[in-house]
A and B are shown apart, each in its own frame.
Chain A
Amino acid sequence: MSTLRSVIRVGGVRDSRLMVPIVALAAILLIDLIVVPGFFNLEMKDGHLYGSLVDILRNSAPTVVLAIGMTLVIATGGVDLSVGAIMAIAASVACILIDPRIIGLNLQGNITAVVGDPTYSFAPIPVVIVASLVVAVACGLWNGVLVSFGRIQPMVATLILMIAGRGIAQLITNSIKIIIFNDAFAYIGNGFIILPFSLFIVVALFAGAWLLTRRTAIGLFVESVGISFRASLYAGINEKRIKLFAYSFCGFCAGVAGLIAVSSIRTSDANQIGLYTELDAILAVVIGGTLLGTGGRFSLLGSVLGGLVIQATQTSMYAIGVAASAITAVKAVMVIIVIILYSRQVQDLGGRLVARLGRKQAAT
């Protein structure tokens, strides 16, 4: 009887959509446990925690942050391809505000140190952060306007900024790679309070996003618009405003991810920051069980776990010794697995297996 109950509970987890990312994460860590000796070792050095697990958490920060914003966009039935470009724009804005004099020097090519002072910043760091995020939100708003008022296909609408964004980011810094010496700013991506500081940003953003969607009506409206925007319109929901919100919030998250990324490498590299991260973010959301294309029900926690799955796979591959150039192939395999796992056939099969197990238990 108790086994029957546990079978029913298994069915519940399957329905809760968190099963795929949880099982995937467990499987990857299990492989690490067997294949990579010392993968789970943790050590304290200077009050900092080090180890592969900490690396996974830390390196996943930008992807997870993007995935949180992307979840809402995908839930409305859209997609945002421009988040990587928005990351680069936010990074450029931050760097130019920290060190604008570099533009005046009219330097060619790759410039390195001009100001070597670790306390120097042209604008105060809080202003730098807020300004970068405002620009990122404005980028998101632009996407939202195109999608909701322009009625442009989300993929096409966000493609515009995806392509133009990196150019804009380069324009802002006059194509110069600005190196950041400011320690306060570098703390965002490199700081530690036992655990990496960026993790606290992720947790705060997740909590904020959860409260914003689940403790207000926004989450319900986002899902409703994704499932049927016409029915939502008839029910008095302003679907345009909901989409504007989702894309703006996604832009905000991209801004945060951009700040984390530029802070940890200390260089505004408009061509590299956030490159291809939109794909990781979308993959994370899809692994987390939110349906790409159709939208509807979403799970922020699922997306966070999805981001961790991607990063854990990547870190494990490095640990096992897979070449960096082969990582993309591994990701491709992940995409295929996800497609299979979320296919109707496999879901039906799972449902039948659970039902059969339940019947067997009931019979005995």
Chain B
Amino acid sequence: MTGPATDIVVMENIDKSFPGVHALKQVNFSLARGEIHALVGENGAGKSTLIRVLTGVERPESGTIRLDGIEVTIRSPLHAQSLGISTVYQEVNLCPNLTVAENLLIGRQPMKRRHVDWKTMNRQAREILQGLDIAIDVTQPLGSYSIAIQQMAAIARALVISSAKVLVLDEPTSSLTGHETDQLFRVMRKLRGEGIAIVFITHFLDQVYEVSDRVTVLRNGSVVGVYETAGLPRLTLITLMLGRSLTELDDINRHRIESSQHIGTESLLEAEGVGVFGSIAPFDLVLHAGEVVGFAGLLGSGRTEMAQLLFGIDQPTTGSMTMDGAPIRKFSPIGSIERGVALCPEDRKAEGIVADLTVRENIIMAMQASRGWFRHLSTSDQYAIAERYIKLLNIATPSADQPVKNLSGGNQQKVILARWLATNPRLLILDEPTRGIDVGTKADIQKLVLSLAEEGKSCIFISSELEEVLRTSHRIVVMRDRAKVSEFAGDVDEQELMQAIAGGES
């Protein structure tokens, strides 16, 4: 099935280095016509670099790329497109304020006597989307549709403008709901049937098994192996990715049960009828020292709003909150930091890292903010703090002076964690701390949360992955439609929890 005759892309002995990192080491990668080929590996394994080489963003130092058996040098993303290699990134690179049809056909819009022929354009756009089984109003602005539809439009555009033979999808599902993901997979299978080769990068192993034919595993810049997905047991795949087996997850479970004995009886933070009009319904919440409280709920159920309220980003319009029995009056991030509350925000890129600043500056930032403008941390203190957390959290960076934007997503998340641990918080709110992060780092973060709880800190753990919330939390708060609907403590039945999240009556 995948003999050399059907291989459309063959990359051989690709080598690429960046300052301080050998990103790709003699990597071989081949892609056959009409297959969905998953590319998996931990953060920093080299997936993105390999894709950037294939799509002309980066040039390899050595190695050859053959397209349809002919050796090519891919000079730029534009050149890659003209060769029939198209990429759709996680963030959709289209214009949300233009209509769907304009987005699809801009640059090759049908003309009638020096004017754009809008009728034909809209008809063509409709036909293109029908080819992907999508029926939407193409005259509406693209931004009025869901991210999934926008992504589909991006795929459609890639197919239209470059008559793509190879389609690269970089983490396309990370911001999609289950239903939207299914829709995307339908489109992918349809394209596969038309002979298009698809490279699919994802952190979700379920999806690898659901949709891919073959899987290439990368680790530390090298190819570990290429496998037929169907014949590869899941545990083997994880072991291949990590280079070690994952009995750690059981350890975390045990850890949680043990640590539950240390939960304090005195409340650390109490919220009574606290809510924000139009954003989150009033709720009660009590947090104890040494306790991990999980927030479960669907996207948009109010988890993030609750976290932001507790951290003082938003002001409550009703109710009251006390910390150590004293009422809270100053609702602001800096007020929270002074009380010992920390928040790792959900949107790491926009609300977490300060991209152009160094790892060191990002780590000391919150600590410096709590000290004010003039009690300046000396440079040597800054290095000492940064180095300590780089070691403690195993942050993979060439040095503390590396701009944080050069780090992989998981390591950026660790930098944010370090920023907050440096302030020595008593309540740590983690909003989706493991999103877009590989399995190994996920386990690291879960372990860290539990050991912080053991030290007597209180944690709020918010995640879309139910499994993860169950594994790390002593108590689980369920959110639905911007309100707290129930609370579970002790041994929680997953079925019961799911029903609470979905709305239990049915």
Contacts and interface: CB of A to CB of B under 8 A. Distances in A.
Interface string A212-250: 000111101101100110111111111000000000000
B286 interface: no
Contacts of A237: 334, 365, 369
Interface in B319-370: 333-334, 336-337, 343, 345, 350-357, 361, 365-366, 368-370
Given A217-B369, A217-B376, A221-B369, 17 more contacts: A217-B368, A217-B371, A217-B374, A220-B365, A220-B368, A223-B356, A223-B357, A227-B357, A228-B355, A231-B350, A231-B353, A232-B365, A235-B365, A235-B366, A236-B336, A236-B365, A237-B365
Given A228-B350, A233-B313, A235-B419, A217 B355 contact: no
A228 B355 CA distance: 8
A58 interface: no
A231 B356 CA distance: 12
18 contacts: A216-B376, A218-B373, A220-B361, A221-B368, A223-B357, A227-B354, A227-B356, A228-B353, A228-B355, A230-B350, A231-B354, A233-B351, A234-B345, A235-B365, A235-B369, A236-B333, A237-B334, A296-B356
Contact of A236 (B334, B354, B373): B334
B337 A236 contact: yes
A297 interface: yes
A216 B379 CA distance: 11
B351 A297 contact: no
B366 to A, nearest CB: 5
A221 B353 CA distance: 13
B333 A235 contact: yes
A297 B356 CA distance: 8
Nearest to B423: A236
A234 B351 contact: yes
Contacts of A234: 313, 333, 343, 345, 351-352
B233 interface: no
Interface in A296-311: 296-297
A221 B369 CA distance: 8
A215 B376 contact: yes
Contacts, number: 75
A121 to B, nearest CB: 36
Give the most central of A217, A218, A234: most B CB within 10 Å.
Answer: A234
A224 B354 CA distance: 6
Interface residues of A, number: 21
Interface in A5-47: none
A232 B350 CA distance: 10
Contacts of A220: 357, 361, 365, 368
Give the most central of B343, B353, B357, B374: most A CB within 10 Å.
Answer: B357
B361 to A, nearest CB: 6
Interface string B179-194: 0000000000000000
Contacts of B376: 215-217
Interface in A260-297: 296-297
B352 to A, nearest CB: 6
A217 B372 contact: yes
Give the most central of B336, B353, B354: most A CB within 10 Å.
Answer: B354
Contact of A227 (B343, B355, B371, B419): B355
A233 B353 contact: no
Contacts of B361: 220, 224
Give the most central of A215, A224, A231, A232: most B CB within 10 Å.
Answer: A231
A232 B337 contact: no
Contacts of A227: 354-357
A227 B313 CA distance: 19
By size class, the interface of chain B is 20 to 34
Contact of B366 (A216, A236, A296): A236
Contacts of B353: 228, 231
Interface of B: 313, 333-334, 336-337, 343, 345, 350-357, 361, 365-366, 368-377, 419
Contacts of B366: 235-236
A221 B374 CA distance: 12
Contacts of A217: 368-369, 371-377
A228 B373 contact: no
A216 B373 contact: yes
Nearest to A225: B354
Nearest to A352: B59
Contacts of B419: 235
A4 to B, nearest CB: 15
Contacts of B372: 217
Contact of B354 (A216, A218, A232, A238): A232
Contacts of A296: 356
B333 A224 contact: no
Nearest to A215: B376
Contacts of A223: 354, 356-357
A242 to B, nearest CB: 9
B370 A228 contact: no
B350 A236 contact: no
Contacts of B336: 236
A146 B333 CA distance: 22
A53 to B, nearest CB: 35
Q: Which 10 A-B pairs have the closest CB atoms?
A: A236-B369, A236-B337, A236-B334, A236-B333, A235-B365, A217-B368, A235-B366, A234-B351, A237-B369, A224-B354
B223 to A, nearest CB: 26
A209 to B, nearest CB: 14
B303 to A, nearest CB: 16
A221 B357 CA distance: 11
A79 to B, nearest CB: 19
B22 to A, nearest CB: 16
Nearest to A294: B356
A236 B370 contact: yes
Given A216-B376, A297-B356, A231 B370 contact: no
B352 A231 contact: yes
A220 B365 CA distance: 8
B345 A224 contact: no
Contacts of A235: 333, 354, 365-366, 369, 419
A66 B326 CA distance: 48
A299 to B, nearest CB: 13
A348 to B, nearest CB: 11
A216 B374 contact: yes
Interface string A311-348: 00000000000000000000000000000000000000
A231 B313 CA distance: 12
Nearest to A232: B354
Contacts of A233: 313, 333, 351
A343 to B, nearest CB: 16
A220 B375 CA distance: 13
A227 B365 CA distance: 13
Nearest to B345: A234
A215 B333 CA distance: 24
Contacts of A231: 350-354
Contacts of B313: 233-234
A212 to B, nearest CB: 9
A227 B362 CA distance: 12
